[in-house]
Structure 1
Amino acid sequence: MNQYDTYHALLARQDAMRLRRRITAPAPAPARVPAAYGRHPDAYDGAADQRLITANLPLAGPSPELIDRLYDAMFEHHPYLRGLFPESMAFQRAHLEQALRHLIDHLHRPDELRAFCTRLGRDHRKLGVRPVHYEVFEASLAEALRGCAGAGWSRDLEQAWLRMLRFAVAAMVAGAEEALAEPPYWNAVVTGHRLCGPDLAVVHARTAEPYPYRAGQYAHLQTPLLPHAWRPCFLACAPRPDGRLEFHVRGGGADEVFEALVARTGVGDRLRIGPAQGVMTVDGAPDRDVLIVAAGTGWAAAKALLEELERGPRPPRTRLFLSAGTPGDLYDTPALAALEDRCPWLRVVPVLGRDAAADADHAALAEAVARGGDWSAHLAYVSGPPAMASATVRQLSALGVPADRIRHDPLTGADPRRPHRYPHGRPQPGPAVRHAEGPVRP
């Protein structure tokens, strides 16, 4: 057993002991939240801190420089933590920058942000994160912010950042405590691996224990070829009686994890699967028609949603807009054709372009959806790269689809050929769309 496995085995033993004490205790024990993270979370005025932080983003905001300074400070003061991170930090750094932007963009909706961070804390258990690590992260972030801002730094601005972080961490710690009875991750064996092109694979796996999830959700995968490195992938099927899971993985870029899952993984290999996440799910029998917009491996989530709708007593009329660069890029056509044949309530509209990952083609997809009909009374699902999801959500909002009926989970890494980067500058909070970003470890 290597050092990484030993560490997680000790954490699992500690969690088992804590769970036993909770079960046998006369009253539930409160979550162990560091004192700094437990101060009046319900009374938090996130909108005020958002105004102060966004007004000073040119001085100190989420940026590659800030993230570099943060990790430099963390590993300089606590070298042992470096062993808990993957060898390559590129994905991690970009993902943390995106997560900080997400926090800032949603500070004016603390209830939504608290729910998001609670889910994040549940997922972070797979990384071996403990409350003390958040304290180290806070100190490193404060040092990085002061370094970026220089003489322009102020105590008020620092306190706004720390209040934001502590609000998020309190919810994350609570989420981890609530999930104490479930595994931090599930061990799985690859039972099928089908190449659909030089850079795309459909991977089937089965876990040793039942894996709970809902159609439309995603999970993070880890291959033993690259320890500590987790990547998000949509589950491409509704829950099945045999417990078989399906993931669609695209490599062909600079990301070593996706490349390993596509080109260096085969039947019999082992995987680790994090807890299922995401809000792009079907809540009972939909009482209205459904619109699904998917691009790239976002088809995986669309496929799972269609399987779930098919199970219902009266599947709703559903329109699927499926974007691809060329007809050959529609890689799962047998499954799509089978769904069309047996589902008279489903209509599929292919949208072809030069490059399904290009910004211009994301705009073309959104425009095709706009021309396709009146969607204001529909329940909409959007699945694909973040830039595509953002363009489509903006279009649907402009067409009158209420925000609470647009669901999407834009995953960093959904198309690794074009990593998504938010522009610098003041963020403009959008509508209260039901969505979530992929998690990030501190």
Structure 2
Amino acid sequence: MSTPHSASGTFGHPGGAGRSGEYHALLARHDAMRLRRMLLAPARPGGPGGPGAAAGPGAADGPEIPGTAAQAVILRDLPLVTPFDALIGDLYDAMFERHPYLRSLFPDSMEFQRRHLAEMFGYLIEHLDRPDEIEATCARLGRDHRKLGVRPAHYQTFEVALREALRRRAGAHWTEELDWAWVEMLRFAVRAMVAGADAALTEPPYWHADVTGHDRRGPDLAVLRVRPREPYPFRAGQHGAVESPLLPHSWRQYSFACAPDPAGEVEFHVRAVGPGGVSEALVAHTRVGDTLRLGPAHGGMTLDEEFPGDLLLVAGGTGWATAKSLLQELAARRPAPPGVHLFLGAREEAGPYDGDAVAELARRPWLRVHRTVGPGVSPVQELERHGDWSGHLAYVSGPPGMVAAAVAELTALGVPADRIRHDPLPLTSGALPGPAAPVPATAH
């Protein structure tokens, strides 16, 4: 399983470099046949789209909820199977020992894969007492996994490997109760993922997009524009996964840096964070005319139809992409939006890397821009000096540390939590061995 924000497959990524096209063509035909059967089937209670609709194999009466009993067992026995990196190492060893061909279907480097699977385990364990959140998150994840070609059989293979890994890690302390709790948690997540995939049968699993613009804004930063070959639905404030042909099977999430426009183009701001990754491939080795693949759009940092008051945007680094998309949508709305304040941080001494776009939007009479420039300088530091934000609806995007600081500062300044929308933050728990992070807006 991948995390809510990673986009590499984990249950088995069926589509190696030599046969990916044929495999995905077969999946497309399979999905078309499933959709046709669903549309032609007579309506029935609990059927597709109806109350009590099955969430996947073995879920005719809806997904069973593991709840706090399974959570208590998992937490009690957690020291037996942690750290998670050891458990996940055993899991993949077991999977590849049983099915050696699966290894060639994963990215060459498993580091990103393992790290985010550990985060997903943490997320599930912490949220077992909030099944509605898990169900919503995993439904989105299942929709996103369609681009990887994941099918129920791959989830079953993953479950077998997980159970074997639990036995290996727990050793003589393994119990049937421990096995039951982990399997209940996994199956609940899988049912929701299968339901999410089924609900998305009418949309493509991914979109091919041609690079129409590639503008280097620094040694480690590029602004990319791409044009999907088919209509690509998204909203300002959302994000989507991107795959480069230079790194097959490796998908990373990037925020949209534009509102939808008639030309159908999409803009991304990508900062390279290290050698050999997707971000480096997009910044240093992508050219106009290349073809990328886009996963479906996700995210809830979108604008309401009607505003409950003035707006506050806080953005740092490439978090400007989210703010830019929201401001473009605001600029296109009629009548004019309410008052908007933008606090924008840039680490480059020359100012924001997208300075022309900032200046163009700043000409709007309803927008006030507060800039902070320089390494180590954060827009958060300016919030308290510029007014009372308790009546504003706030949007925060950027590096995790900046986002966490901005959320804490806004809360301290009296902004209610339900009026602060932000890139998700790492979750911590004293019971868990490390952070678990739900969907971030940008990953590299």
Write the letter of the residue equivalent to 1:166.
R
TM-score computed with the length of structure 1 as normaliser: 0.86
The answer to whether the 8 Å contact 1:62/1:100 transfers is no
Structure 2 counterpart of 1:408, from 395, 402, 422: 422
C-alpha deviations, 1:340-364, integer Å up to 9, x for none?
A: 01x2222222234534xxxxx6xx5
- Give, in whole Å, the separation in 2 of the partners of 1:397 and 1:162: 38
Q: Which residue of 1 aligns with 2:337?
A: 315
Matched, 1:60 2:88: no
- 1:41-190 correspondence to structure 2 within 5 Å: 41=63, 44=65, 46-61=67-82, 63-190=84-211
The yes-or-no answer on 1:426 pairing with 2:442 is no
> Partner of 1:59: helix, strand, or coil?
helix
- Structure 1 position 143, deviation (Å): 2.3
Q: Shift of residue 39 of structure 1?
A: 6.8
Change (3 A) 1:388 1:52: farther
Whichever residue aligns with residue 88 of structure 1, its letter is: S
How big is each residue's C-alpha offset from its partner over 1:181-211, in whole Å with a ceiling of 9 and x where there is no partner?
A: 1000001100111000011110001111100
CA spacing shift, 1:379–1:65, aligned 2, 3 Å: same
Q: Is the 8 A contact 2:254 2:442 kept in 1?
A: no
Q: Aligned residue for 1:5? A: 21
Equivalent residues in 2 for 1:285-304, closer than 5 Å: 285-304=306-325
SS at match of 1:41: coil
The 3 A distance-change label for structure 1 pair 45 and 400 is farther
Q: How many residues align?
A: 418
1:320 is matched by which residue type in structure 2? Answer: L
Whether the aligned pair in 2 keeps the contact of 1:4 and 1:84 (CA below 8 Å) is no
Q: 1:34 aligns to what?
A: 57
AA aligned opposite 2:282? L
* Residues in 1 aligned to 2:382 and 2:159: alpha-carbon distance in whole angstroms: 45
CA distance in 2, matches of 1:39, 1:23: 21
Which letter maps to 2:323? Answer: A
* Matched position secondary structure for 1:214: coil
5+ residue gaps, structure 1: 356-360, 412-420
Kept in 2, the 8 Å contact 1:195–1:201? The answer is yes
User: Quick check: 1:397 aligned with 2:419?
Assistant: no
Q: Distance in 1 between matches of 2:78 and 2:341?
A: 41
Looking at structure 2, the residues matched to 193 and 287 of structure 1 have their Cα atoms a distance apart, in angstroms, of: 38
| Cα distance change of structure 1 residues 50 and 317 upon mapping to structure 2, 3 Å threshold | farther
Question: How far did residue 226 of structure 1 move?
Answer: 1.2
* Structure 1 residues 374 and 426, CA gap change in structure 2 (3 angstroms): farther
Match of 1:416 in 2: none
1:384 counterpart = 2:398: yes
CA contact (8 A) 2:347 2:375 kept: yes
CA drift of 1:310 comes to: 1.9
Does residue 338 of structure 1 match 2:360? yes
Computed over aligned residues only, the root mean square deviation of the Cα atoms, in angstroms, reads 2.9
Structure 2 counterpart of 1:272, one-letter code = R
Give 2:36's aligned amino acid. Answer: R
Q: Is residue 22 from structure 1 mapped to residue 44 from structure 2 by the alignment?
A: no
- In 2, Cα distance between equivalents of 1:332 and 1:19: 44
Per the TM alignment, residue 425 of structure 1 is displaced from its structure 2 partner at its CA by 4.5
Q: Give me the whole-angstrom Cα distance separating, in 2, the residues matched to 1:139 and 1:25.
A: 33
Check conservation: 1:366, 1:391, Cα contact below 8 A.
yes
Q: Conserved in 2, the CA contact under 8 Å of 1:189 and 1:206?
A: yes
Which amino acid is 2:415 matched to?
V
> Does the Cα contact within 8 Å between 2:66 and 2:185 map onto a contact in 1?
no
Give the whole-Å Cα distance in 1 for the aligned partners of 2:23 and 2:419: 43
The one-letter amino acid of 2:208's match is N
| Residue 253 of structure 1, aligned match among 268, 274, 294 | 274
Q: After superposition, what is the alpha-carbon deviation per residue over 1:285-307, rounded to whole angstroms, capped at 9, x for unaligned?
A: 21211122222211111110111
Q: Which moved more, 1:207-216 or 1:288-297?
A: 288-297
- CA deviations 1:253-294 (Å, max 9, x no partner) are 135211111111111100100000111111212121112222
**CA–CA distance in structure 2, aligned partners of residues 65 and 174 of structure 1:** 30
1:91-110 residue CA offsets vs partner (Å, 9 max, x unmatched): 22222222222222332322
Amino acid of the structure 2 residue aligned with 1:60: V
Identity %, equivalent residues = 56
**1:327 and 2:349 equivalent?**
yes
Structure 1 stretches of at least 4 aligned residues deviating more than 6 Å after TM superposition: 421-424
Show the counterpart of 1:280.
Answer: 301
Alignment map for 1:262-273 (pairs within 5 Å):
262-273=283-294
In the alignment, residue 404 of structure 1 is paired with which amino acid? D
Q: What is the alpha-carbon distance in structure 1 between the residues aligned to residue 374 and residue 74 of structure 2?
A: 39
Letter aligned with residue 343 of structure 2: F
Is 2:54–2:61's contact at 8 Å kept on the other side of the alignment? no
> Any idea what SS the aligned residue of 1:407 has?
strand
Task: Provide the secondary structure at the position in 2 that maps to 1:238.
Answer: coil
The Cα of 1:67 is off from its aligned counterpart by 2.1
For 1:182, give the aligned amino acid: E
CA distance in 1, matches of 2:161, 2:343: 45
